[in-house]
Structure 1
């Protein structure tokens, strides 16, 4: 049985940890509110932009001529993983990395064997984790979340789009956590490049049944719209991941606080039992000593 001093030290240590997890939960809650507002405001804009691109691109010859819509034999693949810069957020980061590995193993086995699969990690944990798994990581965008803004995300989008347009990669996909609520984040793997005509979508079908007058020319609008839509798509994914991170961290710290409280109950019970045993032992020693003197 541990001594009273050891139990007291453990109680003090757990108590300090509990205060830290409480503080981290409160910080995550404050950040989550701002991040949640940002993604809720972004979703309608991103959805409408995609609808506009579907409308304009329907039947436009420039879509097939765009450098971002070129469908090539898949020889080199780029996966963009969106994770956090810090840990203590449960399975948030590991879920993204597992999804990326599963995607490679199920769809890009041949490319992986030829070392033709690269990882662009937005978030330090993803960069470290995928490197440990033996994948090549490129780009220096791991600090985007420390200064999150459209301008910084745009730099990453420009890098990806330029690499695809030059033929460095034939397919680009995003792997990230989509924010549902504080306790739920859903891992998504979605195509980024090449873009494809959405004739099978409801927006595409609606566009094919309508006639529009475009000003300026349809091709000019599309050439401006495609790069913007791609940048907004990446920015939305980053905002989704950011909100999901704070939700995951808030949930993890809440659970850690509850676990610390349970541990404190157990340690206090052990402390009281140990103290009671020590007192009983002292009483027995005193009684034994008194009987020895009396005899």
Structure 2
């Protein structure tokens, strides 16, 4: 058993750690409310707009929607959405694991993979590989639509000029504070929605003109899909960190209680030994 000084130092150290984890939990809980409201409000709009885009794409000729062009897949861009910081459980590792599974799948098809890392942890996981194409860590300092639009525009431009034949987004889908699901979505080319009968999934009346609306609707819808993925990941990160710090605080508290019990036992044993030594000394003197 450790001596009293070592136990006392460990108890103080764990107490300091508990203060840090508890504070991080409260900070993440405060940020989670705002992040959760953001994705809750955005998700229905983004999903509906995505459905409209898919339905419209099914009614267009290939020349009318360049973002739906199907071609032989030789180069794929993976947009990995991760965080800049750790201490959030399996939040970051789940995306890296998902990405490695996708990479293995494509490598079996002789496809070249390029990675756009949105978040320092995603970049760190693949920075020693030739797959890293670019990174964007600054977006998490001030998450807004303009930042998401820049990421989408880069992917759209690369798809149009033939740099990439397919673009996919990998991010954590926010279900609640305790559950985040690593999700893979095809960003480009746009996948048309087809009904069970094989026909397009919707009819639309265009005003003022079909060309004018589609030239604005399609790029805007794609940018919103990226923004939704970023909002999803942001809420997932705060939820994962809050949960991880809550568990860490509970574990530290349990360990502190156990060490306190050990300390009290050791202290009581030391006091008992001192009493025995005093009594033994007194008996020796009397003798």
TM over 0.5: yes
Q: Please list, as runs of the form range in 1=range in 2, the aligned pairs for 1:253-268 lying within 5 A after superposition.
A: 253-268=245-260
> 1:173 & 1:206 partners in 2: Cα distance?
23
4+ aligned runs moved over 6 Å, structure 1: none
Cα shift at 1:76: 1.0
Q: Structure 2: state its 5+ residue gaps.
A: none
Q: Please list, as runs of the form range in 1=range in 2, the aligned pairs for 1:185-264 lying within 5 A after superposition.
A: 185-200=180-195, 205-207=200-202, 210=203, 212-264=204-256
TM-score normalized with structure 1 length: 0.92
Contact 2:158 2:164 in 1 (8 A): yes
> 1:111 & 1:87 partners in 2: Cα distance?
33
Contact 1:60 1:219 in 2 (8 A): no
Matched, 1:131 2:127: yes
Aligned partner of 1:93 in structure 2 is 92
Tell me whether 161-170 or 35-44 shows the greater mean CA deviation. Answer: 161-170
Cα shift at 1:110: 4.0
Q: Please list, as runs of the form range in 1=range in 2, the aligned pairs for 1:1-295 lying within 5 A after superposition.
A: 1-61=1-61, 63-111=62-110, 116-132=112-128, 134=129, 136-200=131-195, 205-207=200-202, 210=203, 212-295=204-287
Tell me whether 15-24 or 278-287 shows the greater mean CA deviation. Answer: 278-287
TM-score normalized with structure 2 length: 0.94
> 2:165 & 2:55 partners in 1: Cα distance?
26
C-alpha distance after superposition, 1:122-174 (max 9, x if no partner) = 11111101225x35212231221111000111111111111111111111111
Q: Structure 1: state its 5+ residue gaps.
A: none
Instruction: Please tell me the root mean square deviation across aligned C-alpha atoms, in Å.
Output: 1.9
Contact 2:168 2:186 in 1 (8 A): yes
Alpha-carbon distance change, 252 to 6 in structure 1, aligned in 2, over 3 angstroms: same
> 1:24 & 1:201 partners in 2: Cα distance?
50
Alpha-carbon distance change, 110 to 57 in structure 1, aligned in 2, over 3 angstroms: closer
> 2:136 & 2:49 partners in 1: Cα distance?
25
> 2:63 & 2:106 partners in 1: Cα distance?
25
Tell me whether 45-54 or 152-161 shows the greater mean CA deviation. Answer: 45-54
Cα shift at 1:55: 4.3
Contact 1:111 1:117 in 2 (8 A): no
Contact 2:194 2:201 in 1 (8 A): no
Contact 1:60 1:218 in 2 (8 A): no
> 1:36 & 1:84 partners in 2: Cα distance?
16
Cα shift at 1:109: 2.8
Cα shift at 1:10: 0.6
> 1:270 & 1:44 partners in 2: Cα distance?
55
> 1:77 & 1:292 partners in 2: Cα distance?
88
> 1:50 & 1:69 partners in 2: Cα distance?
13
> 2:172 & 2:73 partners in 1: Cα distance?
25
Cα shift at 1:262: 0.2
Partner SS, residue 88 of structure 1: coil
